[in-house]
Amino acid sequence: MAVSTLVPVLTLPQPIVLLPTARIQAFLDEPAGLKLVELVQRSDAQLVVGTVPCTSASEVYSWGTGARVVRVVRTVSRSSDKAFQVTLHGLSRLYYPDTQSSAPFNPNDLIELTAERPKPDGPPSQEAVATFRAAAAKLLDHLARDTNQQSRRDVYVKISHMLEEVSDDRTPWMADVIVAGINKLDYNDKLAYLSAAAVNDRLRRATELFVKQASISEVTKKIAQSIDETLSKQQKEFFLRQQLAAIQRELQALTRSSNQDAPGGIRPSGTSELDDPEQAEAEDMADIKHKIEAMAKDSEERKMAVREWKRFQRIPSGSVEHGVIRNYVRLVPLSLEWLTSIPWPSSSAYATATSSDKLRDRAFLENARKQLDEDHYGLEKIKKRLIEYLAVVRLKQLQAEREASQQPSTSHTHTVSGEASPQRTEGDATSRALALISHALNSRHAASAGVTGQTPKRGAASKAVKGPILLFVGPPGTGKTSLGQSIARALDRPFQRISLGGVRDEAEIRGHRRTYVASGPGSIVQALRKAGRPDPVILLDEIDKIGQSNFHGDPAAALLEVLDPEQNHSFNDHYINVPIDLSQVLFICTSNSLETISAPLLDRCEIVHLSGYTYDEKLHIARKFLLPKQLKANGLTPEHVVLTQPALLRIATHYTREAGVRSLERAIGAVVRHKAVEWAEYVDSSGNDDISRVPEQVVDGAGVTYKKVVEEHELEKILGIARWDEEEMHREERRGLVYGLVVTGMGEGGILPIETIAVPGGGHLKLTGSLGEVIKESGELALSWVKSHAYDLCITKLRSEDPLKVPDPIDIHLHLPSGAVKKDGPSAGIAMTCAFVSLLTGACVPTNVAMTGEITLRGRVGPVGGIKEKVLGAHRARITKVILPWANRKDVEHDVPPEIRAEMQFVFARTMDEVLEAAFGKGVLNWQRSMVVMESRL
Rg of the chain over all Cα atoms, to the nearest angstrom:
46
What is the number of other CB atoms lying within 10 angstroms of the CB of residue 164?
A: 8
Q: Is residue 354 predicted with pLDDT exceeding 80?
A: no
pLDDT(335) > 60: no
Report the DSSP pairing between strands 810-815 and 749-760.
antiparallel
589/381 Cα distance (integer angstroms): 17
Side-chain half-sphere exposure of 283, counting CA atoms within 13 A: 6
Percent of the chain exceeding pLDDT 70 equals 78
* Rounded mean pLDDT, 875-880: 85
CB contact set of 554 (below 8 Å; sequence gap of 6+): 506, 548
Answer for the pair 175, 202: CB distance below 8 angstroms, yes or no: yes
Whole-angstrom distance, CA of residue 424 vs CA of residue 570: 35
Q: Is the confidence at residue 205, as pLDDT, over 80?
A: yes
- Name the helix (H) or strand (E) containing 247: helix 232-261
Q: Please enumerate in sequence order all residues whose Cβ is within 8 A of that of 534, keeping only pairs 6 or more positions apart, or say none.
A: 343, 344, 345, 350, 353, 354, 461, 528, 581, 584, 585
pLDDT of residue 444: 40
Q: What is the pLDDT, as a whole number, of residue 432?
A: 45
Q: What is the 3-state secondary structure (H, E, C) of 571-591?
A: EECCCCCCEECCCCCEEEEEE
User: Largest alpha-carbon pair distance within the chain?
Assistant: 146
Mean pLDDT within 244-260: 70
Class of residue 407 by CB neighbours under 10 A (exposed 0-12, middle 13-18, buried 19+): exposed
Question: How big is the CA angle at 843 (ends 839 and 847), to the nearest 5 degrees?
Answer: 95
- The rounded distance, in Å, linking the Cα atoms of 310 and 416 is 10
When pLDDT is averaged across residues 419-426 and rounded to a whole number, the result is 38
- Residue 324 has a pLDDT of 59
Nearest to 424 by CA among 413, 439, 414: 439
Residue range 203-220: average pLDDT?
Answer: 80
Which of 317, 288, 318 is CA-nearest to residue 305? 288
Query: How many Cβ atoms are within 10 Å of 355's Cβ, its own excluded?
Result: 17
If you average pLDDT over residues 707-733, what whole number do you get?
81
Tens of pLDDT, residue by residue over 5-46, are: 888 888 888 888 888 888 888 888 888 888 888 888 888 888
Q: For residues 609 and 808, what is the distance between their CA atoms, to the nearest angstrom? A: 51
Q: pLDDT at residue 430 above 70?
A: no
Where does residue 19 rank: exposed (0-12), middle (13-18), buried (19+ CB within 10 A)? Answer: buried
With b for 16 or more beta-carbon neighbours within 10 A and e for fewer, the 651-661 pattern comes to bbbbbbbbbbb
380-406 and 364-375 helices, crossing angle to 10°: 150
Instruction: Indicate the SS3 state at residue 293.
Output: helix
Q: Are 85 and 27 a contacting pair, CB within 8 Å?
A: yes
Q: What is the DSSP letter of 553?
A: B
- Under DSSP, the state recorded for 771 is B
* Average pLDDT for 63-84: 83
More confident residue, 746 or 162: 162
Lowest mean pLDDT, pick from 501-515, 599-613, 704-718, 906-920:
501-515
Highest mean pLDDT among 400-409, 467-476, 863-872: 863-872
Q: For the chain, what percentages of helix, strand and coil (3-state, to nearest 5) are there? A: 45, 15, 40
pLDDT greater at residue 78 or residue 354: 78
DSSP state of 183: T
Q: Report the distance separating Cα 758 and Cα 803, nearest Å.
A: 11
> Are the C-beta atoms of residues 510 and 558 closer than 8 Å to each other?
yes
Say whether 16 sits in a helix, a strand or coil: coil
Closest listed residue to residue 490, CA positions, set 501, 498, 499, 482: 482
Closest CA to 115 of 128, 127, 102: 102
Of the candidates 774, 746, 81, 828, the residue with the CA atom closest to the CA atom of residue 478: 746
pLDDT at 473 over 90: no
Mean pLDDT of 236-245: 71
Across 830-849, average pLDDT: 93
Give this prediction's pTM.
Answer: 0.57
| From 80-84, 208-212, 315-319, 895-899, the region with the lowest mean pLDDT | 315-319
Of 34-38, 313-317, 834-838, 897-901, the range with the highest mean pLDDT is 834-838
Above 90 in pLDDT, residue 829?
yes
- Phi and psi at 319, nearest 5°, equal -75, 150
Residue 759's pLDDT is: 93
How many other β-carbons are positioned within 10 Å of the β-carbon of residue 684? 10
pLDDT at position 781, please?
A: 93
Does residue 270 sit in helix, strand or coil? coil
Of 804, 823, 660, 667, the residue nearest 741 (C-alpha) = 823
Given a contact cutoff of 8 angstroms between Cβ atoms, the answer to whether 736 and 670 are in contact is no
Residues present in the chain in total: 938
**Mean pLDDT, rounded, of the chain:** 78
> Cα dihedral sign for 799, 802, 803, 808?
negative
In the predicted structure, residue 701 carries a pLDDT above the cut 60: no
Which one-letter DSSP state was computed for residue 409?
Answer: P
Task: Note the pLDDT of residue 180.
Answer: 81
Q: Is residue 852 pLDDT above 90, yes or no?
A: yes
- Among candidate residues 440, 449, 433, the one with its CA nearest the CA of residue 417: 440
Phi, psi of 12 (to 5 degrees): -110, 130
Taking only the tens place, the pLDDT of each residue in 773-828 is 999 999 999 999 999 999 888 888 888 888 888 888 999 999 999 888 888 889 99
Answer whether 598's CB lies under 8 Å from 361's CB. no
Amino acid 134 reads A
Q: Are strands 854-855 and 861-862 parallel, antiparallel or unpaired?
A: antiparallel
Closest by Cα among 114, 64, 115 to 90: 64
Q: What is the structure's pLDDT at 738? A: 94
Q: Given a cut of 50, is residue 76 above it in pLDDT?
A: yes
Active site residues: 827, 870
**pLDDT > 50? residue 159:** yes
Q: What's the distance, CA 312 to chain centroid?
A: 27
Residues 6+ apart with CB under 8 A from 435: 424
Which residues contact residue 384 at a Cβ distance below 8 angstroms, ignoring those fewer than 6 apart? none
Highest mean pLDDT among 288-302, 321-335, 446-460, 862-876: 862-876
More confident residue, 901 or 447: 901
pLDDT of residue 850: 95
Contact criterion met (CB below 8 Å) for 751 and 815: no
Instruction: Judge if the upstream peptide bond of residue 345 is cis by omega within 30 degrees of 0.
Output: no
Please list, residue by residue across 575-601, b when 16 or more beta carbons sit within 10 angstroms of its beta carbon and e when fewer do: bbebebbbbbbbbbbbbbeeeebeeeb
- In the predicted model, is pLDDT for residue 445 greater than 50? no
Highest mean pLDDT among 566-575, 594-603, 752-761: 752-761
Q: Is 884 helix (H, G, I), strand (E, B) or coil?
A: strand
Distance CA(155)–CA(516), nearest Å, equals: 36
Single-letter residue type at 723: R
Neighbours of 781 (CB within 10 A): 18
- Would you list the DSSP string of 625-685? IIHHHHHHHTT--TTT-EE-HHHHHHIIIII---SSSHHHHHHHHHHHHHHHHHHHHHHHH
pLDDT higher than threshold 80 for residue 270: no
- Nearest alpha-carbon partner for 217 in 150, 144, 269: 144
* Averaged pLDDT for residues 79-95: 84
Sign of the torsion formed by the C-alpha atoms of 189, 191, 192 and 193: positive
What string of DSSP letters covers 457-500?
A: PPPGGGGSPPPPEEEEE--TTSSHHHHHHHHHHHHT--EEEEE-
Choose the weakest-confidence range: 120-124, 362-366, 762-766. Answer: 120-124
* Angle subtended at Cα 646 by Cα 645 and Cα 649, rounded to the nearest 5 degrees: 85
Residue 659: which of 475, 480, 479, 481 has the closest Cα?
475
Give the strand pairing for 579-580 and 110-115: unpaired
pLDDT(619) > 80: yes
Query: In this model, does residue 936 exceed pLDDT 70?
Result: no
